[in-house]
Amino acid sequence: MIFKSNFNEHDQEMFEYILDNIPDSITIVDEKCKVIFFNSTAEKYYGVSRHEILGKDILSFFPGAILPKVLDKGSSYYNVYNSPRQNSYIVLSAAPLLDKSGNIIGALARDRDITEIVKLSDLLNKTQLSLLQLEKEFSKISLTGESYFSKIISNNSSFIQVINICKNISKTPLNILLRGESGTGKELFAKAIHYESGRKGKFIPINCSAIPNELFESELFGYEPGAFTGAKNVAKKGKFEEAEGGTLFLDEIGDMPIELQPKLLRVLEDGEVTRVGGNKAIKINVRIISATNKEIRDLISENKFRRDLYYRLDVFQVNIPPLRDRKGDIVLLANKFLQEFCMEQGINIIEIPKDILDIFFAYSWEGNVRELRNIIQSSVVYASQSGKGKIEKEFLPSYMQKIKVDRIGKILNLSEIKDSESGLEEYMSSIEKRIILETMKDLNNNKSEVAKKLKLPRATLYYKLEKYNIAVSEK
């Protein structure tokens, strides 16, 4: 047995079997730094067989190994970023093993392969940078003499006030916190503020909820080649350095893990970053715009967000109202998106029909402008494919098609009852009249369809049409 303990032989075999079959690499050394356990995942990660390494000093295989430091200092390490080979990335954690009296008898390291995560994150970064570059080029062509703010459209007076405030503060160096529900346009505002600011550097966005904890520091602050064991690492700039002279956009700041917040705070306080594994402080001149759809003050009281960091970020706060609070913008935005996607699809749809706009007005738009944009986009695609060249109700998502129920709900406006002088009978009659009118409108004045829909004999429908003085052409 390689792993001496108080276990009996069967327990030990079980224990080794389990350690051998977990997806993390496990290395255990004794107090003299000799390898006493090396699981099969470790063999795969490091390309070293256990027969070669067992009983040998770990430093003779891995000169930069962390376990000798653990034995030396008696301290643990958590999530250290490492690249054992070119294009292979892991995070490792290590801890001393103690006997009952607290003496160090060995150390254990657990490494997790994050190569795929790193590759995806790099790809995302590259795509984001090309997109920003394209966007910048596009703005130069399409917005000559015009402000990036002209992309943000509204006819709501309080929203226009928000746009004007943002224009005014864009030239200042103040850090800004944008608050608003998802899809309200926070990123659009952040970009507009950056391009309007006249800052020469780049606009660099980073989504704080999308970066794995282990990569956060190296993504934000960069790293030096010596930061990792293994060969052929090259230094990498972090987002702060990339945004030098420009703006760093910290999206979903409320999701930033609490343990990483002091590191960000230090950079903001000192105005300099030090790359992971480096010792040279690099001065930075970066404006921070952060965004959140969470209530940061609640997070502070739940100890999930640091108050001192919040005050650094929230020097100037901008609240972006949800779409449901500015319903007048729905038609304006819907038509803008309609034009945009019709051009893309090469079709011509002049307007959005009234019955669909009614649904849009009744809907609560939890996903805000993004949801409206997506719905217009998919409807235009359906319209194009159907060859009808117009937007129809069945092109909307099914949850929106059901909104007709809400229209009847609108007819039964309870607040009207409170304000009404009329008695129940009169009120019921007025509701009945409205329901018949709405149904007639929906079914194109087709009386037999209306009678069927409202489950009325045709004669009763005729009687009610006469009673309520509803004039319709014969169908």
Residues that bind ligand ATP (CB under 6 A): 152-154, 180, 182-188, 251, 291, 293, 333, 369-370, 373
Pair 52, 216: CB distance under 8 Å: no
Write out the H or E segment, with its range, that includes residue 178.
strand 176-179
Sequence-separated contacts (24+) of 122-128 with Cβ below 8 Å: 128/205
State the nearest-atom distance from the C-beta of 116 to ligand ATP, in Å: 24
Q: Cβ-closest residue to ligand ATP?
A: 185
Nearer to ligand ATP, 291 or 391 (CB): 291
d(CA 228, CA 231): 8
Paired tokens of 6? 């108080």
Residue with smaller CB distance to ligand ATP, 83 or 121: 121
Task: Pick the closer one to ligand ATP by CB: 222 or 322.
Answer: 322
For residue 59, which amino acid is it? L
Residue with tokens 């009296």: 101
Measured from the CB atom, the residue of 137 and 308 that comes closer to ligand ATP is 137
| H or E segment and range at residue 36 | strand 35-38
Q: Which is nearer to ligand ATP, 95 or 381 (CB)?
A: 381
For tokens 């009978």, name the residue. Answer: 425
Closer Cβ to ligand ATP, 83 or 293, answer by number: 293
Least distance between ligand ATP and beta carbon 467 (Å)? 47
The tokens describing 90, both together, are: 């892991």
Residue with smaller CB distance to ligand ATP, 211 or 333:
333
- In the bound state with ligand ATP, the residue whose beta carbon lies nearer, of 5 and 364, is 364
Q: Between β-strands 104-113 and 88-98, what pairing exists: parallel, antiparallel or unpaired?
A: antiparallel
User: Can you tell me the distance from the alpha carbon of 286 to that of 124, in angstroms, rounded to the nearest whole number?
Assistant: 22
**Separation between Cα atoms, residue 139 and residue 222, nearest integer Å:** 29
Residue 234, classified by CB atoms within 10 Å of its CB into exposed (0-12), middle (13-18) or buried (19+), is: exposed
CB of 133 to ligand ATP, least distance (A): 18
Nearer to ligand ATP, 183 or 222 (CB): 183
Question: What is the rounded radius of gyration, in angstroms, for the C-alpha atoms of the chain?
Answer: 32
The nearest distance, CB 54 to ligand ATP, in angstroms, is 51
Q: Is 450 helix (H, G, I), strand (E, B) or coil?
A: helix
- Beta-sheet strand order (sheet of 287-292): 203-207, 247-251, 287-292, 176-179, 316-319
Q: How far is the CB of 146 from ligand ATP (least distance, A)?
A: 14
Structure tokens at 356: 């669909």
Distances (CA, A) of 281 to 238, 250, 273: 13, 22, 5
Given CA atoms 186, 188, 189, 194 in this order, what sign does their dihedral have? positive
Cβ 184 to ligand ATP shortest distance, Å: 4
Smallest distance, ligand ATP to C-beta of residue 221, A = 23
Nearest residue (CB) to ligand ATP, 291 versus 383: 291
Residue 13: strand pairing partners: none
Is the Cβ of residue 333 or residue 436 nearer to ligand ATP in the bound state?
A: 333
Q: What is the DSSP string of 197-248?
A: HT-SS-EEEEETTTS-HHHHHHHHHEE-GGGSSSS----EE-HHHHTTTSEE
What is the closest distance, in whole angstroms, from the C-beta atom of residue 382 to ligand ATP in the complex? 20
| In 51-129, beta strands by DSSP E | 77-85, 88-98, 104-113
- Classify residue 161 as exposed, middle or buried by CB count within 10 Å of its CB (0-12, 13-18, 19+): exposed
- Please report how close the Cβ of residue 331 comes to ligand ATP at its closest, in angstroms: 13
Q: C-beta of 364: minimal distance to ligand ATP in Å?
A: 17
